[in-house]
Structure 1
C-alpha cells in the first residue's frame, strides 16, 4: 500500500491511497475459507462446498468490503501519524474510469486543512467589563418584595390603587379561560386602569390584550400562553373579578429575618440589605461574566484574520448530514456556521498555546457542583457523598449532557484566562442600566 499527499494550496490537499491485491488478498481468502466451512448450500455437505463456488458467490462482495475497511483504517492512521489538522472529513474524489474488476485500486480524497494563525489578546479597542452593583433602588424593592411575601392579605370591597385582583381572563375564540392574580399597578395605561377603579367582586371588565401589561411576561402568565402565542396578540378579553385584596406589609423585624433566612442568621435591617446585596450581586456576576465572554468572543472573531477552505467546506456540508443537500443550501449553511467555526478554531488555538487542559476529575468535580446547586433548589442542602457520586456518574454517562457540561467548564476556564491576560475597561452600573446598555 502507498499513501501520498499533494498540496493544492495552504488550505487544500489531495491524499492518494493505492491498494494492491497483496494488501487484502490474505484476509479475503481467510474469510472465504470461513464461509466455506459454514455455508449451507443444497447438494453439498457443510464444509465441503467447492471453493470455486464460494468465490463466485461471495468473493467480489467480500473483497470490496475488505478493501473499503483497509482504505478507511489506513487513511485515518495516515492523518493521525502525519498530524494533519483537517476540517470536516475527507471527501472522496469521483473517478469516472474506476472499476472493481481489477486487483489494484487507487483512491483520492480531498482534504480541507485548518489554517495557521496567531491570536492577539492585546485588544486595540478596550473591551468593556461590567461590574453590576445592587443600588439602593433595587434593595428597596427587594425589601418590599420580602415584606409583601410575608405580609397579611386583607380583603377589599372595591378596586382602588395598590390592590391585588384575582379573577379569570377569558376569550372564547382563543380558548382562554385562565385564573390569574394581578396587581392593579401592573396594568398599563390610564384608560385600562380606570376600567378597574371602583369595580367590585363579580364585575366583568372588557379589555384588549395589546398593551395591557407593562411587560410581555406578565401577559404570558396572566393568559397562560407561551412566548410565540403572545407575539403581536391583539384580541378582546374579559376579566371577571373574583377577589380584591391588599397586602399589609410585614414589619421589618427579627421575626421577618428568621422567616426568610432562618433563626438569627440576620439580626438587623442593615444585615438584611447586605445579604440581599450579596445574593443579588452573585447573580449579576454570572450575567456580567457571560456578557464578557460574549464580548471577547466577538472581538477575537472580528480581529483574528485567517482564510478557510470555504469551497471544500461547502462541498462537505452538502453531504455531511443525514440527507444530502443542494449546493445552494450548503452555501447558506456555510454562511450561518462560518462565524462559529472561526471561534472554534480560535478557542482551540488559545487552549493549545496556553496549555489550558481539562481532565476527567475536573469535569466530575464541576458536575458535582452543578448537581449540588440543583438539589439545593429543592431543599436538599446536605446530600450524602455516595448519592452525589451516583448522580454524577449517571449525568456523565449521558453523552449530550457530558458534552454540555464540558463546554461550560471550558468556557469557565477560558473566561478566567481572559480576565488574567486581557486589560478591560471596567464600567460599574446598576442592573437596570446594564440591561438597557447591553440588551438595548
Structure 2
C-alpha cells in the first residue's frame, strides 16, 4: 500500500491511496474459505461447495467490503501519523471507473486543512467587565414586593391606584374570554389607568389592545391569545370587574424574617436589606460574566484573521448531515456557521497555548455543584456526598448532558483566563443602568 499527498494550497490537499492485491488477498481468501464451510447452496453438501462457485457468488462483495475497510483504516492511520489538522472529514473524489475485476486500486480524497494563525487575547481597547450593584431603589422595591407577597388581602369597593383587580377580558369575534388579576402599573398609558380609578365590581371597561401594554407578550398572557396573534393586535376588548382587593403590607418583623430565611438568620430591616443586596448581586455576577465572555468572544472572532477552506467545507456540509443538501443550501448553511467555526478554532488554539484542559473530574464536580444548588431550592441544604455522587452518576450517563456540562466548564475556565490575561476595565453601575447601557432600554 502506498499513500501520497499533494498540497493544493495551504488549506487544501488531495491524498491518494494505492492498494495492491497483496494488501487484501489473504483476508479475502480467508473470508471466502469460511463462507465455503457454512454456505447452503442447493445440490451441494454443507462445506463441499466448489470454491469457484463461492467466489462467483460472494467474491466481489467481500472484495469491495475488505478494500473499503482497509482504505478507511489506512487513511485514519495516515492522518494521525502525519499529524494533519483537518476540518470536517476527508471527502472521496468522484471515481466512476473503478475496475473491481482488477488487482490494484487507487482512491483519492480531498482534505480541508485547518489554517495556521496566532491569537492575541489582549485587545488594544479595554473590554468592560461590569460590576453590577443593587442600589437602594432596587432594594426598597424588593422589600415592598416581599411585604405585598406576605401581606393581607383586603376587599375594596372601588379601584384605587394600588388595587389588585380581578376580571374578564372578552371579545366575541376573536373568541377571547380570559379571567385575570392585574395591577394598573402594568398598563402602558396613564389614560388606561384613569379608566379604572373609581370603578366598582360589575363595571365594564372598554379598552383598545394596541398600546395597552409596553410589551406584546404581556398582552398575550392577559388575553390568552397565540404569540403571533398578540403582536400588532388592534381590536377592542371589554374588561368586566369581578373583584377588587388591596394588599396590606406585611410588618417587617421577626416572624416575617424567619419565614423568609429561617430562624434568626436575619434579625433586623438592615440585615434584611443586606441579604437582599447580597443575593441580588450574586445573580448579577453571572449576567456580568456572560456579557464579558460574549464581548471577548466577539473581539477574538473579529480580530483574529485567517482564511478557511470554504469551498471544501461547503462540499463537506452537503454530505455530512443525515440528509444530503444541494449546493445552494450547503453554501447558505456554511455562511451561517462560519463565525461559530472560526471561534471553535480560536478556542482550541487558546486552550492549547494556555494549557486549558477539562477532565472528567471537572465535569463531575460541576454536575455535583449544579445538583446541590437545585436541591437547595427545594430545602435540601446538606445532601451527603453519596447522594450527590449517585445523582451525578445518573446525570452523566447521558452523553448529551456530559457534552452540555463540559461546554459550561470550558466556558468557565476560559472566562477565568480572560479575566487574568485580557485587557479589561471594571465599571460599577446599578442594574437599571447596566440594562440601559448594554441593551439600550430598561
Q: 1:83 to 1:63 in 2, by over 3 A?
A: same
CA distance in structure 1 between the aligned counterparts of 2:297 and 2:264, rounded to whole angstroms: 45
Does the 8 Å CA contact 2:217/2:230 hold for their aligned counterparts? Answer: no
**Unmatched tracts of structure 1, length 5 or more:** none
After superposition, the C-alpha distances for 1:379-422 in whole angstroms (9 at most, x for unaligned) are 33233333322221121111111111110110000000000111
Work out whether 1:43 is the aligned partner of 2:47.
no
Partner of 1:64: 64
User: How far 1:174 sits from its partner (Å)?
Assistant: 4.2
CA distance in structure 2 between the aligned counterparts of 1:152 and 1:341, rounded to whole angstroms: 56
Work out whether 1:18 is the aligned partner of 2:22.
no
After superposition, the C-alpha distances for 1:64-86 in whole angstroms (9 at most, x for unaligned) are 01111111111111111111111
Aligned length: 440
Partner of 1:259: 259
Q: Tell me the TM-score normalized by structure 2.
A: 0.96
Q: What is the correspondence of 1:345-356 to structure 2 with a 5 Å cutoff?
A: 345-356=345-356
CA distance in structure 2 between the aligned counterparts of 1:227 and 1:369, rounded to whole angstroms: 36
Does the 8 Å CA contact 2:37/2:47 hold for their aligned counterparts? Answer: yes
Partner of 2:295: 295
Alignment partner of 2:102: what SS? coil
CA distance in structure 2 between the aligned counterparts of 1:342 and 1:101, rounded to whole angstroms: 45
CA distance in structure 2 between the aligned counterparts of 1:259 and 1:239, rounded to whole angstroms: 36
Partner of 2:340: 340
Q: Tell me the TM-score normalized by structure 1.
A: 0.96
Partner of 2:55: 55
Alignment partner of 2:199: what SS? coil
CA distance in structure 2 between the aligned counterparts of 1:62 and 1:170, rounded to whole angstroms: 73
Q: What is the correspondence of 1:6-405 to structure 2 with a 5 Å cutoff?
A: 6-225=6-225, 227-405=227-405
CA distance in structure 2 between the aligned counterparts of 1:319 and 1:241, rounded to whole angstroms: 61
Does the 8 Å CA contact 2:125/2:423 hold for their aligned counterparts? Answer: no
Partner of 1:3: 3
**Unmatched tracts of structure 2, length 5 or more:** none
CA distance in structure 2 between the aligned counterparts of 1:267 and 1:181, rounded to whole angstroms: 34
Tell me the C-alpha RMSD between the 2 structures.
1.6
CA distance in structure 1 between the aligned counterparts of 2:51 and 2:157, rounded to whole angstroms: 100
Range with greater deviation from structure 2 (93-102 or 325-334): 93-102
| Structure 1 segments of 4+ aligned residues over 6 angstroms from their partners | none
